[in-house]
Every structure is written in structure tokens, then in C-alpha cells.
Amino acid sequence: MSRELELLLFLLALRASGEVVAGSAEAAAAAAAWPGLQVGFYHAKCPVAEDVVLGEMRMILEEDPTLAPSLLRMHYHDCFVQGCDGSIMLRSRSGKGERDATPNRSMRGYDAINRIKARLETVCSLTVSCADIIAMAARDAVYLSKGPWYDVETGRRDGDVSVAEYAENDLAPPDSNIVDVKTFFSVKSLNAKDIAVLFGCHSIGTSHCGAFQKRLYNFTGRMDQDPSLDAGYAAKLKKLCPPGHGHDHDHDGHGGAGGAAKVPMDPGSGFTFDLSYYRHVLATGGLFQSDGSLRDDPVTRGYVEKLANASSSSEYFADFAAAMVKMGRTDVLTGDLGAVRPTCDSLVD
């Protein structure tokens, strides 16, 4: 048996045995790169790949700083819907692709990924996958928002299937409680600590009012307010999101048709990747019920409390890097699987 195969079987066995060995699985996975992925996968084939992405990202964010959170979010959506395979970029004429799914309606940044891809095609054609471009752009978006720099694994290849229903089934809606959230994330081999760490992504970016308006005006269907939401914060949100702007527009309220107004998810520090998200969640209940749900589980709550009080972000930054690398391994296509497309936003039908 080859060493690679042995390692693969070992890791699969650890994954299959679940929570009990989560610690040792993490240690093993951290020691060795995920089969098929490696830091610096393009060193030989396209040595400038990571520099090109960072250079383009600097220009893209100079033109529109609000794309940093959008590109971070794109990596999460890409990874959760049939694995980090770039399929979030595919377009469907019939409106049945991932892009057309309810949770995707507010997704932005497609043009930025196309732009980076076009630039990479001129320097090393048919070499760098769209899935890797999205992973690198997410890392750079965090870094350029004053967050950590981390070594991003590359070597992903692109899939050619894009189905709206997959996105609807795989992405937790913002009104999820902690039990729902843990279910959605455990399917992707992410544990309670990973959840608490990754939710820190909401330290940057904005949301449409439609995604949380139900909490303000009609929480249980009796024109009431979510009691777990801090009253002062709720009053501020109501000013920013007056009634009738897309609330209740659909059952999972991801901010589609209505709710055009946008609010920062981490008020006061909405474009700086820092710990204030955790203080915000602890003090107010956060913007989404899913954010507030971190307070309802001993592991996630413990982590939120620890970070809310931390005197430096170094522990968080290290945890974040590890969790992003772990998320970036979700159901990847490597080796001979998938393909490297000449463009990212190809049509599937």
C-alpha cells in the first residue's frame, strides 16, 4: 500500500470515528497536508500565482473595500455546497445553479474572481483552479482587513456541477439555533470549536435587513421581538430597518428580494477583522439568531467568553487560520479529478 493511500485511510478512519478523536484527528491533519492539497502547490507550475492574487486583491479592494467580506463569504459558500470546487462561480441559463439559490442571492464578488482568473490565465494558462483562487482571495481578504495571514493550501480542482437545491440544503439559514448549526457543520466535519471560530468571519461585512427582520417585528408570528436580542441594539436595528422592507419575504430570510437596506454585522468595526464580534455577540445576541446561538452551547459559549475578554488577538488568529484550512479541505477534488477551466463563470446549461 502506498504511503499516501495509508494516510488517506487513516484520516478517513479518524473522521468516521467522529467527535471522540476530534483532537487527535486535528493534530494528524495539521501535521500532514490533506491528501492532494499542499501549501505552495503552484510553486513549480506557476510561482507567481499567490502574488498575482494578492496584487489583484489589493487593487480590487482599493476600488471597492466592501468586497473583502463578500469574497470571504464566497469561500464558505463554495466549500459548503458540494465541496470547495469553484462551482459557486458557474452560471445557469435556466436559473437552476448555486448562484440562483436563495442563500446566494446576496452573494457578490463574482467579477473580482473573474478578474483574478483572467490575469492568471495571461501568466500561466490553464494552471490555477477557480476553487484555489477563491480560497486565496478569502485569505487575502482577511489579511487586507487587518486579520491574520495564514498559509493557504492549494491543489483543488474545479467541478462542473451546480445545483441550486444543494445550496439550499447545505447552508444553515440565519434563524438557526445552535443544534441546527452544529448539524450543518458536523456534516462538513467541523466541530463546535470550529463553529465558534469561523463565525468570527462575521466580524467584517454587512447584511440585508431581510435576513434578520423577523427578530425585530414578528418573531413568533405575534408581532413580537426576539427576547434574546438586547433591547437597545434592537431599537437601533429598527431605525436602520423600518418595517415593510422585505421582512418575512421568505421562510429562510437570507436577504433576497426585499430588505435592500444593509447593516454592519459587527457595528463599529464592520471592516476590521478583530475580536469585537465576540463582544458584540455576548453583549447583544448578535445580528442573526445563528450568531446569538453561540451563547447556547457550553463549548461555543466558553470560546466566545474567552475571546470577548482576550487581551490580544493572537490566539484567535491562530485558531482562525487552522479552521479556515480545515474548512478549505471540505470535499475537494484533487489529482486527476475535476478540471482547471479557462474561465470561472462558465455556463452549465
Ligand X SMILES: *[C@@H]1O[C@H](CO)[C@@H](O)[C@H](O)[C@H]1NC(C)=O
Among 73, 75, 99, 182, binds ligand X (CB under 6 A): 99
Which of ligand HEM, ligand X, none is residue 87 near (CB under 5 to 8 Å by kind)? none
Among 39, 96, 100, 168, binds ligand X (CB under 6 A): 100
Q: Which range in 8-16, 80-88, 97-105, 183-191 contacts ligand X by CB under 6 A? A: 97-105
Query: Shortest gap between Cβ of 45 and ligand HEM (angstroms)?
Result: 27
Has 296 been labeled as part of a binding site? no
Strands (DSSP E) contained in the chain are 38-39, 153-154, 206-208, 262-264
Q: Cα–Cα distance between 52 and 47 in angstroms, integer?
A: 10
Interacting residues toward ligand HEM by CB under 6 A: 69-70, 72-73, 76, 106, 108, 172-174, 176, 181, 198, 201-202, 204-208, 211, 254-255, 288, 290
Query: Shortest gap between Cβ of 213 and ligand HEM (angstroms)?
Result: 11
Query: Shortest gap between Cβ of 222 and ligand X (angstroms)?
Result: 7
Half-sphere exposure of 318 (CA within 13 A, CB side): 4
Residue 96 binds ligand X (CB under 6 A): no
CB nearer to ligand HEM: give 120 or 274. 274
Has 274 been labeled as part of a binding site? yes
Half-sphere exposure of 264 (CA within 13 A, CB side): 16
Instruction: Output the residue with the shortest Cβ distance to ligand HEM.
Output: 205
Which of ligand X, ligand HEM, none is residue 176 near (CB under 5 to 8 Å by kind)? ligand HEM
Q: Cα–Cα distance between 304 and 286 in angstroms, integer?
A: 12
Residue 248 binds ligand X (CB under 6 A): yes
Per CB under 6 A, contacts with ligand X among 302-321 are: 305, 309
Residue 346 binds ligand X (CB under 6 A): no
Query: Shortest gap between Cβ of 10 and ligand HEM (angstroms)?
Result: 27
Residue 110 binds ligand X (CB under 6 A): yes
Q: Which amino acid is at 246?
A: G
DSSP-assigned letter for residue 347: B
Q: Is the Cβ–Cβ distance between 76 and 156 less than 8 Å?
A: no
Tell which residue, 296, 279, 76, has the closest CA to residue 180.
296
Among 18, 23, 65, 95, binds ligand X (CB under 6 A): 95
Query: Shortest gap between Cβ of 162 and ligand HEM (angstroms)?
Result: 20
At a CB cut-off of 8 Å and minimum separation 6, what does 159 contact? Answer: 82, 83, 85, 86, 87, 131, 333, 338
Q: Which three cell numbers stand for residue 36?
A: 492532494
Has 83 been labeled as part of a binding site? yes
Query: Shortest gap between Cβ of 110 and ligand X (angstroms)?
Result: 6
Q: Cα–Cα distance between 182 and 136 in angstroms, integer?
A: 26
Write out the catalytic residue numbers.
77
Nearest 10 degrees: Cα torsion 164, 265, 328, 99: 20
Residue for grid cell 457543520: 185
Q: Cα–Cα distance between 119 and 123 in angstroms, integer?
A: 7
The dihedral through the CA atoms of 177, 179, 184, 186 has a sign that is positive
CB nearer to ligand X: give 3 or 93. 93
Q: Cα–Cα distance between 238 and 236 in angstroms, integer?
A: 5
Q: Which three cell numbers stand for residue 218?
A: 414578528
Has 266 been labeled as part of a binding site? yes
Residue 242 binds ligand X (CB under 6 A): no
Cα 336 to Cα 85, 155, 237, 331, 333: the distances in Å are 13, 11, 49, 14, 8
CB nearer to ligand HEM: give 97 or 246. 246
- Which residue numbers belong to the known binding site for Ca(2+)? 78, 81, 83, 85, 87, 98, 266, 274
- Which residue numbers belong to the known binding site for heme b? 202
- Which residue numbers belong to the known binding site? 78, 81, 83, 85, 87, 98, 202, 266, 274
Which residues make up the interface to ligand X (CB under 6 A)?
Answer: 95, 99-100, 104-105, 107, 110, 218, 221, 248, 305, 309
